[in-house]
Structure formats: structure tokens, C-alpha cells
Structure 1
Amino acid sequence: MPASSPHHAKGLALTAVGGLTLTFDVPLIRLADGDHWSILLLRSSTTLIATLLIWLAWRGLRGNAPSLIPGKAGLIVAALYGLSSITFMTSVYHTSTANVVFILAFNSMFAALLSWLLLGERPAVSTLITMAVMAGGVFIIVSASMGSGHLFGDLMAVVTAMLIASAITISRSTGRDMGFAALVAVLIPLAVAAPMVATTGLSVAAPWWIILNGAVVMPVAFFCLATGPKYLSGPEVAMFYLLETVLAPIWVWMIFAEVPASPTLAGGAILIVALVAHSLWQLNHGRRRKAAGALRHPA
């Protein structure tokens, strides 16, 4: 698909909105101030209710609402997003916000690797070099957590990045609209959290923050990000998760005065610089190829 096509522009706009909206996820979880399972239950249930209401309204007003679960591939994508919701919430409660979002930045490189293995979209040498540099950044963050009690949370963040990258790659391979599949996926964390909360009781100090998260932030963010692969490549979609990498620690610092540890800042800086440099190189390379094509085939 040409980078200048209207569909590509639509994909960029969708994923930009989704990525920006997602940056408020962790701050709202922190503001709600509740235990792991209570937050997961409340967030998942409000997301599910909002999703079904939006889908029913869409279907009633326009009649062309996408399928909630488009076939077997939709089931797999929903399962991956559902599991990622559980591992993500686990990582938030077992490591720092900065560690979580910096490690999640590795999502784009996982997507590039999976696109190569599953779709035959071989990454450029520059992408492979960037992946190696990013692996070093993640290693710095994770190694600093050894002995600090954050290692489990860091590993859950790595698993989350892998699950999301897998969902993006499968969505891309089908070309189907997976926007609602990513949202209906909250049935999985909801089913896991419900019996836990039934045992311990609901414990959320400020539930309105997590209701806002589940009813607005999650539907907008994941519908846009899960629809993106219909128009963009997997690595391109994954790049927009970087907005959370950059902005979420800033929101948390402004609200909670939580300053990331030095190794986290160092590893995060490596991740961001590597990805920005890679993105700029791809943009410049694409323009040069387009210019060369125009010279070979003058109008």
C-alpha cells in the first residue's frame, strides 16, 4: 500500500489518536488507588459495557457495524489482547510506571520480527540493528531490577509487548477490522478477576477514575490501535505505542512526583533514541525511493 494513499493517512490518524489516548491509562489506574484484581474487574466491566453500547448504537444507526469477533482469527486476536490486559495490569502493580512503558516500547521491534517470521515481510538491516540496540536498552532496565523486587513486573511487561505485537501481526495478516475484537477481549480478564474479587471484596478508593478509564480511554485507544493494522504495517502501528512510552512517565511525574531510577532513564533513553532514529531513517529512505521512482517514470 503506498505511503501516500488515503487509506495510509487514515491509518496514521487512527493510530495516532489511539496511541495518544492510551497515554492516560496508567495514570488513571494509579489515581483509582485500588488492588490489582479490583482495578482489573472494574476496568474490564466498564470497557465491556461501553463497547457493547457503542456497537449496538452503531448497528442501530448505520447498520454496518464491524463484527465483534471476525472469525477464528478474531478469536485469536481477542485472546491475545485479553491476556495482554492481565499481564499489563500485573506489571503495573509489580514495577515502576517508567519500567512498564519503556519495556512496552519493544512492542514495535517484536512486531517487526513477527511480521518477518509469519508474513515474510523481511525487515531492513537498519531495523535489525535497531532491534539489537533496543534489546540492550531493555536489558539495562531489567538487569537493574534484579534483586529490587521489580524483575517479575518487568518480565510481565515484556510478555505484554509480545502479546500485543502478536495481535497486531495477526490482524495485519487477515486485513479484517479487529477494533471491537480488542475490546470484547476484556471478557478474559473480567472472568479471571471476578472470582478473585468475590473472595477478597472490591477495593478501589476512587472508582470514578477507573470507570473513566474503562468507559472512555480503553474503548477509544484500543479500537483505534486495533483497527490500524487494516491500513498500516504491524511495525508502523506498534510505533504509536511509543506515545505512551514518552508521555505516561511525564503524567505520572506531574501527578505523583515519581522520578524514574537512573538505569530506567538510561535504558529508556536508548530505546527512544533508537526508535526515533530508525523512524527518521525510514522516512528519509522512503522519500528517496519515491523521488528515484519519479525520475525513472516521469509523468
Structure 2
Amino acid sequence: MLRATRDAFVGDGSLTERQGAVLVAGSGVMFSLTAIAHAAVEDASDFQFLTYRGLSTTAAMLALVALRRRHRPVVLTGVTAVTWVASCLLAGTSMLYILALSRTSAATTLFLLAAAPIVAALLGWVWLGERVVRSTLTAIAVTAVGVGITVGAGLEVGSAVGLALAGLIPVTVGTYSVLMRSASQVDPVVPTLIAGSVLGVGATIVALGQGGIVVSLRDAALACTSGGVALGFGLPMFNLGHRSVAAARVPLLLMTEVVLAPLWVWIWPGEVPSPATLVGGAVILGAVVWLMLGSHPDAPVAAPSSPVPLVPDDA
């Protein structure tokens, strides 16, 4: 697994469906670290946090570019308008997640995130021509049940703005998954580098307008953990792994973030999850493990090289 991932990362091989599924699920584990980092922030505003998150993500990607310079250099060839749109969506998703957490409950945000697989399935069918298999539909249903159990015991809507921001997350996640499936030739470092730069610059501009970007060393370190570590490792794993996984399955595998985020906050700073959260998380995690075990262990899955035209050529 490690050797196959290394070879695929530098362009010397491809991953099987199961290997890709493991990477995508692993990226969700990395993303879940943001919950504990954001919960521990003391004074930094949302856009100050996002500034350091974006800039540290960019720094992590530049470090990867430097490390690969001697062996398999990162190239920008193949970067198209689709790549730029997908990268901006990725930056927007990062921003929406932090802003939603500050304005509505985490339970509400996670509940709405359960719609991401449905969005990805519909867009993958229309745009890429990917048929949604029965196992994926079953996993979508099981995941929805798990999230419903998790938040049903204590759903807090919060502000209307927070609800609207959280509601956009499944749309951006699903759309990003489909766009990147149609741009499989792009190096997995590139979208993350672009997204981190867009997020860092955009958040810096807003933060400067709100009073500056100076924060405590503690808050800066937490934001950099959220960016340089959680996104710096998680996004390249995601961008590489999703190439071998059908678009509808990608957000399902990312539900590892939904399961683990409340557990990290339980460990520190000690926010005890409800029994419903633990039961629902177990149901979601079971669906993710089932998807990974049900993926083909040997044959690589070729991602579409270009979107399926919405209008047939002979129309």
C-alpha cells in the first residue's frame, strides 16, 4: 500500500479502487483534526484563523514541491480552467466550514454534510456518466441514518446565516469531487497549492480590513495545524485517492471526518458526546469500512479524462 501510494504520487503508477478508498478515508481522518484545532482557539477571529490556515497549507505544498524536485518534479502542465474552479471550490469549502462552525452547531453542519454523497452521485451521473451502483446507494442510505441518529437527539439550528453556510458545504464538496475526477491528469499537489494560496490571500485581505492578522502564538499554531498538517497531508491524499473511486463514493468515505471530529473534541477540551453521537458514528463508520472492503482490491479504476458532453454530438 505504501509503495503503491508513493509510486502513484510521483506519477509512476496507479492505485486500485481499494487503495484509493483507503486514502480518501484517511484524508477524512486528517481533516477531522480541524475540529479540535478550531475548538481550542482563544482569541483569533474566523478570518485570522483562515489566514494562517491557508498560508500554512501553501507552505506545506511548497515544501512538497521542493522535496520532489530531484526525483519527480511537480509540473503545472494540464492545469485547466476546471482545475482552477475546483481549487477555488476547495478554498471556499475550507472557509465555509470554519464560518459555519462559528455560527451554528457542529451537529447541524455534519447533518447537512450527509447530503454531499447525493450531490456527488447526481453530478457524477450527469457530468461523468458514472452509474451509481447499488452498494453506493445502500451506503448513502446507511450514512444518512447514522448522521440522523447523531444529530437527532440535539439538533440546534443556530443562526440563519450559519445554516445557509453549512448548507453550501455538501454542494461544494460534491462538485469538487466530480470536477477533480474529470481532471485526473493534474498532479495531486497542484489543486491544494492553488486552494491554499487563494484561501490565504483572500482571508488575509478580509482580516486586514477587520483589524489585522496578528494573533497569539497559540492561536497561530492551532491554525497552522489545521492547515499545514490537516490539509497539508489530507488534501494530497484525497486528490490522489479519489481518482480511483467513483464520485458518489468519495464523500461517503470522507465521513470518517464526521465520525472522528466529535471524538477528538471529547479527548480535548473535554466536550462529552451524547450516546446518540457515538451510536450514529458507529453506523457511519460501519458504512465507510463496508465501502472500503467492498472496493476491488486489484484492478485500477481509470478516472474519466474529460466530462461527458451534456448534449450528444449527433443531437
Residues 80-128 of structure 1: per-residue CA shift (max 9 Å, x gap): 1121122111112112334334432432332222212212223245655
* CA distance 1:77–1:240, shift in 2 (3 Å): same
**Aligned position for 1:78:** 87
Deviation at 1:188, TM superposition (A): 2.5
- Distance in 2 separating the partners of 1:157 and 1:118: 24
Question: 2:175 aligns to what?
Answer: 166
In structure 1, what is the equivalent of residue 48 of structure 2? 38
Mapped to 1, the partners of 2:296 and 2:20 lie a distance apart of 17
After the TM superposition, which residues 1-299 of structure 1 pair with which residues of structure 2 at under 5 Å, given as runs?
7-8=15-16, 9-33=18-42, 34-59=44-69, 61-67=70-76, 70-124=79-133, 127-128=136-137, 131=140, 144-146=155-157, 149-177=158-186, 179=188, 180-199=190-209, 200-202=211-213, 204-205=215-216, 206=218, 207-259=220-272, 265=276, 273=283, 276-277=286-287, 280=290
Equivalent residues, number: 277
Partner of 2:74: helix, strand, or coil? coil
**Kept after mapping to 1: 8 A contact 2:107/2:156:** no
Instruction: Assess, with a 3 A threshold, how the Cα gap between structure 1 residues 139 and 154 changes in structure 2: closer, same or farther.
Output: farther
Asked if the contact 2:57/2:228 (under 8 Å) is kept, the reply is yes
Distance 1:72 1:159, change over 3 A: same
Kept after mapping to 1: 8 A contact 2:259/2:284: no
Whether the 8 Å contact between 1:112 and 1:234 is mirrored in structure 2 is yes
Specify the code of the residue in structure 1 equivalent to 2:266.
W
Contact 2:142 2:284 in 1 (8 A): yes
Q: Tell me which amino acid in the other structure corresponds to 1:241.
A: L
Query: Equivalent pairs: percent with the same residue?
Result: 23
Correspondence for 2:10: none
What TM-score, normalized by structure 2, do the two folds share? 0.73
Q: Which residues of structure 1 form unaligned runs of 5+?
A: 288-299
Q: Deviations over 1:48-96 (max 9, x none)?
A: 122123213312x214324387222211211211211221111121123
Query: How has the CA–CA distance of structure 1 residues 21 and 224 changed in structure 2, closer, same or farther, with 3 Å as cutoff?
Result: same
